Copies of this chain bind each other. A is one copy, B any other.
Amino acid sequence: MAVTELAPNTGSNLEARLRQIGAERYHDKHPFHALMRDGKLTKAQVQAWALNRYYYQSRIPIKDSVMMSRLVDADLRRIWSQRVIDHDGTREGEGGLRKWLHLCQGLGLDRDYVVSEAGVLPATKFAVDAYVTFVRDKPLIEAIASSLTELFSPGIIRERVTSMLAQYDFVDEDMLIYFKGRMTQAPRDADFALDYVVRHATTPELEDSVCQALVFKTNVLWSQLDALYFAYVEPRLPPPDAFVPQA
């Protein structure tokens, strides 16, 4: 369908539905995030979170490369390529991935161990890989819609950064440099994706599929925190080979 088609009545309803999904299902509502926000995590648990989150971050530019491979329109592809650049940087030593490793090292994790992915929970890999597969296989509007958790990330970032700096003496501002860039990147990306889905969801079925795509993505994020909680909080049963924090 042409990029300029509008669905006037649908537009505002769809955005409201998407924001409601975020309000109910975004992982700022997860018990693990509540512990983090309330200063109740141990350093070991924060390490486990950062280690696993590295796997997610590492697959974002892969997911976005898959997306680029699905965009025949060079203008759309150019716009989407900024997401890959945000994570990989424009030269060695730059980019979001590098900043996430900086956080991991600041927490006392060995850089090579993190990059090896050896200690990552299988459940993390399954959830993250499902996201990449979704973007590869689903209709384009759903693939784009699955990125819309970025609508809600500035809120959780603000909460996370504030509470971590206030309550964890092993975390300083320099370690959290990753999140600074996200405060401008995420809204820019989310605005683009939201505009795209609102303009292209011209039937109730398409609107439903867009909402289901966002629900899917919230499940990807939620299940990762479930797995972390199970392995490192309660009942504290990490699977074989998973990262075991030093006492």
Q: Which residues of A contact B (CB under 8 A)?
A: 24-25, 31, 121-123, 125-127, 129-130, 133, 219-220, 222-223, 226-227, 229-231, 234-235, 237, 239-240
Q: How far is the CA of A219 from the CA of B120 in the complex (A)?
A: 12
Q: How far is the CA of A235 from the CA of B230 in the complex (A)?
A: 8
* 6 nearest CB pairs, A to B: A122-B219, A126-B126, A230-B230, A126-B130, A123-B223, A122-B223
Q: How far is the CA of A178 from the CA of B184 in the complex (A)?
A: 55
Q: How far is the CA of A235 from the CA of B231 in the complex (A)?
A: 11
Partner of A126, one of B223, B231, B237: B223
Verify A227–B222 contact, CB threshold 8 A: no
Verify A235–B237 contact, CB threshold 8 A: no
Verify B226–A230 contact, CB threshold 8 A: yes
Q: Given that A227-B226, A229-B235, A234-B235 are contacting pairs, would A25 and B126 also be in contact in the complex, using a CB cutoff of 8 Å?
A: no
Verify A31–B222 contact, CB threshold 8 A: no
Task: Name the residue in A121, A127, A231 with the highest tally of chain B Cβ atoms < 10 Å from its Cβ.
Answer: A127
Query: Which residues of chain B are near A237, meaning CB under 8 Å?
Result: 31, 226, 229
